[in-house]
Chain A
């Protein structure tokens, strides 16, 4: 059993650079979520995919952020022109339950530090 896998685990980048994170969900999970967690806060919803369709985006997801899920399998989250405020843990989760809220399974996260 492979859980939700995220890569890389840690990323340090200079302000203004672009970064891309990858998430591989649990196989057969058709729902995939991205959350962001800053220090001392709980995870905050960023976006949600059902299969390859991005069905919901938070207003937190500025135009510098883009997420994709080609072929409904893995997903990528790209941040362009990173800012220090982007420093956070980026969490990916997946679920297969239908009809509403689900007990999503989370990956270990990618910790981004913008210097």
Chain B
């Protein structure tokens, strides 16, 4: 039962353009969402998060949008840079719980 899904295993974007990574979830109890970035041979690094009381959170080049009615969130990176090439995981949690439920990841490649 995959409660958090990232349906695109990979995404290729030209440097300077916008990267949009998508994530869907099925559990309506989730109320906190996070994006992690992972380079090879390293652990995931926290990128940005959003609470279910918001529909947008922005941090520099990174913006996360949450559409609760569609149970969908997306991460926008603009402008995309070569250093953004990595695997991106979305994760979700329920308030009071300490477990994060991760999606399968999307490999983002930024082409020069």
Given known A40-B104, A101-B34, contact A106–B99 (CB-CB < 8 A): no
Interface-lining segment among A11-19, A42-50, A63-71, A73-81: A42-50
A51 near B: Cβ within 8 Å? no
- Docked complex Cα distance between A101 and B91 (Å): 10
**Interface of B (DSSP majority class):** loop
Query: Per a CB cutoff under 8 Å, which of A41, A43, A45, A55 touches B44?
Result: A43
Residues facing B in A1-32 (CB within 8 A) are 4, 31
CB-defined contacts of B6 to chain A, threshold 8 Å = 42
CB-defined contacts of B105 to chain A, threshold 8 Å = 40-42
CB of B98 within 8 A of CB of A31, answer yes
State which size class the interface on B falls in: 20 to 34
CB of B34 within 8 A of CB of A100, answer no
Chain B positions 72 through 112: 1 when the CB is less than 8 Å from some CB of chain A, otherwise 0: 00000000000000000101011111111111110000000
CB-defined contacts of B49 to chain A, threshold 8 Å = 103
Q: Which among B46, B93, B94 has the highest number of chain A CB atoms within 10 Å? A: B46
Given known A91-B44, A103-B49, A108-B41, contact A43–B98 (CB-CB < 8 A): no
CB of B46 within 8 A of CB of A100, answer no
Chain B positions 36 through 62: 1 when the CB is less than 8 Å from some CB of chain A, otherwise 0: 100001111110010000000000000
CB-defined contacts of B100 to chain A, threshold 8 Å = 33, 35, 43, 45, 101, 104
CB of A42 within 8 A of CB of B98, answer no
CB of B42 within 8 A of CB of A100, answer no
B32 near A: Cβ within 8 Å? yes
Residue ID in chain A nearest B39 by CB atoms: A108
- Docked complex Cα distance between A109 and B36 (Å): 15
Q: Which among B89, B93, B102 has the highest number of chain A CB atoms within 10 Å? A: B102
Chain A residues close to B by CB (< 8 Å): 4, 31, 33, 35, 40-45, 48, 50, 55-56, 58, 91, 93, 99-109
Pull 8 A–B residue pairs with CB atoms less than 8 Å apart, ordered by A. A42-B102, A43-B100, A58-B99, A101-B98, A103-B34, A103-B46, A105-B46, A107-B43
